Chain A
Amino acid sequence: MSDYRIQGATGDWEVVIGLEIHAQVTSNAKLFSGASTEFGAEPNSQVSLVDAAMPGMLPTINGECVRQAVRTGLAIGAEINKYSVFDRKNYFYADLPQGYQISQFKHPIVGHGTVTVDLESGGTKEIGVERIHLEQDAGKSMHDQHPQYTYVDLNRSGVALMEIVSDPDMRSPEEAGAYVTKIRTILRYIGSCDGNMEQGSMRADVNVSVRRVGDPLGTRCEIKNVNSVRFVRQAVEIEARRQVDIIEDGGTIDQETRLFDPVKAETRSMRSKEEAHDYRYFPDPDLLPLEFDDAFIEAARDSLPELPDAKKARFMEALGLNDYNASVLVAEQVSAAYFETLVTAVAKATGKSEADVAVKASNWLTCDLFGALNKAGISITETPVSAEQGAGLLALIEDGTISGRIAKDVFEIMFETGKDAADIVEEKGLKQVSDTGAIDAIIDEIIAANPGQLAQYRAGKDKLIGFFVGQVMKATQGQANPGVVNKLLKPKLDG
């Protein structure tokens, strides 16, 4: 249970959030036409006569979009409806060429499912998904290109969207953000949407209402087209505060559509109440009901990869990772894949079991590599150090060739040059010195050079052993095997 509360003048308020996420289905062609879905083309170049709603043009459905919607439903454990219907949602807008959007109203392709979101507290929460339906995207209007005209580009018109409608199960900005993040992760895992929020392939309509804890639901406002996780959180926070202020001032909330302005940090009304929507939904007579059989569903199920929740559980149970590392690694499929390649390669190189090397590998990956990537501002897909190379480095530590400290230096060079760890160690002569004769001589030199410290040590200041280890390591530029140093140093100091 979230204990997120908005402190009002009259007491605490709970926020209730439901989300409608529009996710662009990954497909080559549009939902009902053969035009391309590629991003960033010349205006109106990816438009068929169907998308432009020329008289007499008719929709024909892209089977891949159906398959991806079914896969998405299966990925959230949802009911799959073998019979669904496309409806027309009628309204006028410049970028809606048909004067209606083909969507699914009464009979969506996917029914109720569930998503488990990871919270910052380390816990999880189940968020219900009411339904997923397939629909067409609209075109794009540009209002700032000409003083008198709005310019319309229909390239997006007809691109397939999945509208993923949640139950009103979220109770804090964090939960809303975590839900969007999790949906995005799942979509990216299964490849049904690229999850690219900057390019608009995923965007959320956020429904927000407030109430006293335990009261029935309040009137909600829908904040349209929020296009980042951060904005989702901000929009919830700002809108909830707005509603609380109104109610506490004795006002009431109008159910309406609002727009989030991140610059002004406010939400504002989009359409007047008078224009209350009346979409006049009815089944699209140009299309027949959408039907498929169990075999189709099973084939879609078989095509699903291991999903993030299952992967995380496996990382924790079979490989011993902690919750944090496991969560970080499964958040992106490429990270998880990197990790799995890394662990396999380290285990192979060292002859140890994967479970024995996994924790160290996960620490190195989440701290060292992710840290470096972060600092360089690049993603794991662009990493200069491959999983095989990372494994090379970890194997050198594991078999005692280099120390953990040296490894940090080696990694830095690997990250800059892309070279293999073994080559760098060889070139720079960074192999750990475990030769007792050589270390013996250095120890003797250091003891001789520090009679004062030796005396204090022998007088009972045991901690000074650290000083002597440090001096030896410094003299060997870190290459001395610390275990060997400790073993040799103690008897000499003790005399």
Chain B
Amino acid sequence: MTDLTKMKIAEARDLMKAGELSSRELTEAHIAAVDAADSLNAYIVKTPEIALANADAADKKIKAGNQKGMTGIPVGIKDLFATKGVHTQACSHILDGFKPEYESTVTQNLWNDGAVMLGKLNMDEFAMGSSNETSYYGPVKNPWRATGSNNDFVPGGSSGGSVASVSGYAAMGATASDTGGSIRQPASFTGTFGMKPTYGRCSRYGMVAFASSLDQAGTITRDVRDGAIMLEAMAGFDPKDSTSVDIAVPNFEAALTGDIRGMKIGIPQEYHLAGMPGEIEALWHQGIEWMKAAGAEVVDINLPHTKYALPAYYIIAPAEASSNLARYDGVKYGLRDAPNGGNLDDMYYTTRASGFGDEVKRRIMIGTYVLSAGYYDAYYLKAQKVRQLIADDFKRAFEKVDAILTPTAPSAAFAFGEKSDDPLAMYLNDVFTVPASLAGLPGSSVPAGLSADGLPLGLQVLANAWDEETVLKISGVIEQAAAFSATPSEWWR
């Protein structure tokens, strides 16, 4: 019998529809795979009972002819998404023991379609990180290892658990979130397909906030079609989120025509970074060739403010975070660390000191500083102006091109500890992903090749707001052309 955990969502869906596979079988296989993948540390909480109940309900739905795209499909949920009655801590100690009395809209949409919850996935604390090393629950290991090596690599972040579970065959898909690259960069590091939709496409209701103006839910899957199927289930207008936009969700899977003839693909010249590894540059050129071969027209474009995206991001995101994370104060939920005989302020100081990890504290401090009296105009206001310029760059570009192609990350996965002592080196990982986040645009990372060490590399596809279909269509063409068939060695099983 085939290994059910290596099946794609679309295949499983079709087999279940044909009555040749039950969600129960599929789910049981995945529950076992989740256990087998313990050494990846992708799951921080497993919910096999919920999974089996979901699976049985899904099988009934399918029998009744009510199958939807995600019905019966076992998925993992990033710990950022509130799941009613189930551990939800954004992998922070400060939310110690928190079990929400509510469900995030994105996960509710999945459950409404009959998806199966395998458990909660590890992540960087409050999604602040690019290597999953800031999690209170310890780092996630990348299922991929360099050729001939037993050394561990980071899976990227912040959706490290999401990509490790999917590339490690411990989920068919996973929810993820992207603030500055937290879907695309880890997807690139793990040979998975990461899809970040337009800001406002997926509801933020019930998603623990990092930087509200940037946070956007998305998907990690093993291929583009699966991403289309899963995103369609998660997305949609939600009146509970004032930044959710009332635009109909298209049939994303239908966009995968493979036909990009005549489309214009922009190549932003500013993304040619000095000192970028040659293999990244080479992969990008390969991508350009694939586009041409598929009949698209490739044009050089300019996004002049690209260089300023990261610094703007590292003002805006920490500023919003410093405010969003003020609610973690030991009063209403989570950790309380109150010194004996201390007053309310003492409780705040110690609770927040012991509840937040170093990177989170660092960002709260930066955010507090840039918003504080006398600095607002020089930092926050300036950054929001630069952000507008960055958005305008894209706007102008999309008057000329249908999509933009770039590398996803400036390197392949790196070793643990390699950048964790140097915040700036870590931040630079998101150099290609942050600009589109600032502009709220949809983007993906498609597995496109291997590094010299045998680690996966991704290409990033960006399109105009609300044009996820173009992102998916082009991603599908890259996937076809790349015929990426490498797999990790399954050392963890």
Q: Which residues of A contact B (CB under 8 A)?
A: 49, 52-61, 88, 90, 92, 94, 97-100, 150, 152, 278, 280-282, 285-288
Contacts and interface: CB of A to CB of B under 8 A. Distances in A.
A152 B329 CA distance: 14
A45 to B, nearest CB: 15
B206 interface: yes
Contacts of A60: 239-242
Contacts of B211: 285
Contacts of A287: 242-243
Contacts of B209: 55-56, 286
Chain B interface residue count: which class?
Answer: 35 or more
Contact of A56 (B205, B329, B368, B373): B205
A56 B333 contact: no
Nearest to B241: A58
Given A278-B372, A285-B320, A55 B327 contact: yes
A56 B371 contact: no
A288 B319 CA distance: 17
Nearest to A89: B323
Nearest to A154: B332
B82 interface: yes
B344 A150 contact: yes
B243 A288 contact: yes
Contacts of B208: 55-56
B204 interface: yes
A59 B242 CA distance: 7
A54 B332 contact: yes
A348 to B, nearest CB: 52
Interface stretch (B99-107, B293-301, B302-310): B99-107
16 contacts: A52-B332, A55-B82, A55-B88, A55-B90, A55-B327, A55-B333, A56-B102, A56-B204, A56-B207, A92-B345, A94-B344, A281-B371, A282-B320, A282-B371, A286-B209, A286-B242
Contacts of A100: 323, 326
Q: Which 5 A-B pairs rank lowest in CB-CB distance, beginning with the nearest?
A: A99-B326, A280-B371, A285-B213, A285-B212, A56-B206
A192 to B, nearest CB: 23
A58 B241 CA distance: 6
B376 interface: yes
B373 A278 contact: yes
A94 B336 CA distance: 13
B242 A58 contact: yes
Interface string B314-352: 000001101101110101110000000000110010000
Contacts of B195: none
B43 interface: no
A99 B323 contact: yes
Contacts of B327: 53, 55, 97-99
A100 B323 CA distance: 7
B95 interface: yes
A225 B388 CA distance: 40
B319 A282 contact: yes
A280 B368 contact: yes
Contact of B104 (A56, A281, A286): A56
A90 B104 CA distance: 26
A300 B88 CA distance: 44
A56 B95 CA distance: 13
Contacts of A280: 322-323, 368, 371-373, 376
B466 interface: no
B319 A58 contact: no
Contact of B332 (A53, A88, A92): A53
A136 B204 CA distance: 21
B435 to A, nearest CB: 18
B98 interface: yes
Contact of A97 (B95, B323, B331): B331
Contacts of B373: 278, 280
A66 to B, nearest CB: 13
B252 interface: no
Nearest to B88: A55
A38 B391 CA distance: 44
Contacts of A97: 327, 331-332
Nearest to B203: A58
Nearest to B371: A280
A97 B326 CA distance: 9
B380 interface: yes
Given A56-B209, A285-B212, A286-B212, 16 more contacts: A49-B101, A54-B82, A54-B100, A55-B95, A55-B100, A55-B209, A56-B102, A56-B104, A58-B204, A97-B327, A280-B368, A280-B376, A281-B376, A282-B319, A286-B209, A288-B242
Nearest to A50: B240
Interface string B144-173: 000000000000000000000000000000
Nearest to A91: B326
Contacts of A54: 82, 100-102, 332-333
A90 B326 CA distance: 8
Nearest to B102: A49
A39 to B, nearest CB: 23
Nearest to B330: A94
A322 B315 CA distance: 64
Contacts of B325: 99
A56 B175 CA distance: 15
A328 B174 CA distance: 69
Contacts of A99: 323, 325-327, 329
A119 B345 CA distance: 45
A61 B209 CA distance: 19
A108 B373 CA distance: 20
